[in-house]
Amino acid sequence: MVIVGLTGGIGSGKTTISKHFESFGIPIYNADKEAKALMKRSKVIKRKLIELFGKDTYKEGDLNRSYLSSRIFSDQNLLKKMNAIVHPKVASHFKRWVKKQNSPYIIKEAAIIFENQLENQYDYIIIVIADENLRIERVTKRDGASTKKVKSIMKNQLPDSEKIKKADFIIQNNELNTAKKQADGIHQKILHKISG
């Protein structure tokens, strides 16, 4: 199975563009969404996270996201430990999911690929980019987050200029219809590469 990574900074439009690929039958695995679901569902992850962060990690059975992000935000070491608990589970869940798909290729949407040198896990990588001011505007509108918060998340992500150098395909998503047209072209190119 050909695995295509779809990445991009916060608010670039990864999920929006993934949905467009989905509309022509490409299965999408949203790694961040699945990680959150597993953090809620998996007993092993739950136990290990509570060992690491304490009982406040869960509130009425649900992941206490604001508590968790406040703990990991200022502590890279804790973030690494959390990833070491969650990532292997997501990886095996993804492997099982891939086996069940029946399509020329699948897309794995993940905010972090280049940041953790995970590019070898993909046959091709698409990066979605958009101007920083637009991304801030979108996320503040979508999540009610402050500009300061969005900027601080951006600081922890690689700049687009670095990711562009390493990606196979780029989608410029300042304007949605233009971005969708680029996605159409990339879909055809990938199909062509696979069949050729």
Complex with ligand ATP: residue 57 or 173, whichever CB lies closer: 173
- Cβ atoms of 11 and 17 within 8 Å: the answer is no
Q: Which stretch binds ligand ATP (CB under 6 A): 3-11, 79-87, 159-167, 185-193?
A: 3-11
CB of 169 to ligand ATP, least distance (A): 16
Whole-angstrom Cα distance, residue 191 to residue 103?
A: 10
Interaction with ligand ATP in 135-174: which residues (CB under 6 A)? Answer: 138-139, 142, 173
Whole-angstrom Cα distance, residue 160 to residue 154?
A: 10
Task: List the x/- string, 85-124, binding to ligand ATP by CB under 6 A.
Answer: --------------------------x-------------
Question: At residue 8, what are phi and psi to the nearest 5 degrees?
Answer: 155, 160
Q: Which stretch binds ligand ATP (CB under 6 A): 21-29, 38-46, 119-127, 134-142?
A: 134-142
Figure out which of the listed residues 5, 6, 14, 94 binds ligand ATP, where binding follows CB under 6 A: 14
Figure out which of the listed residues 2, 3, 15, 64 binds ligand ATP, where binding follows CB under 6 A: 15
The answer for residues whose C-beta is within 8 angstroms of residue 190's C-beta and 6 or more apart is 2, 4, 104, 105, 124
Whole-angstrom Cα distance, residue 127 to residue 53?
A: 33
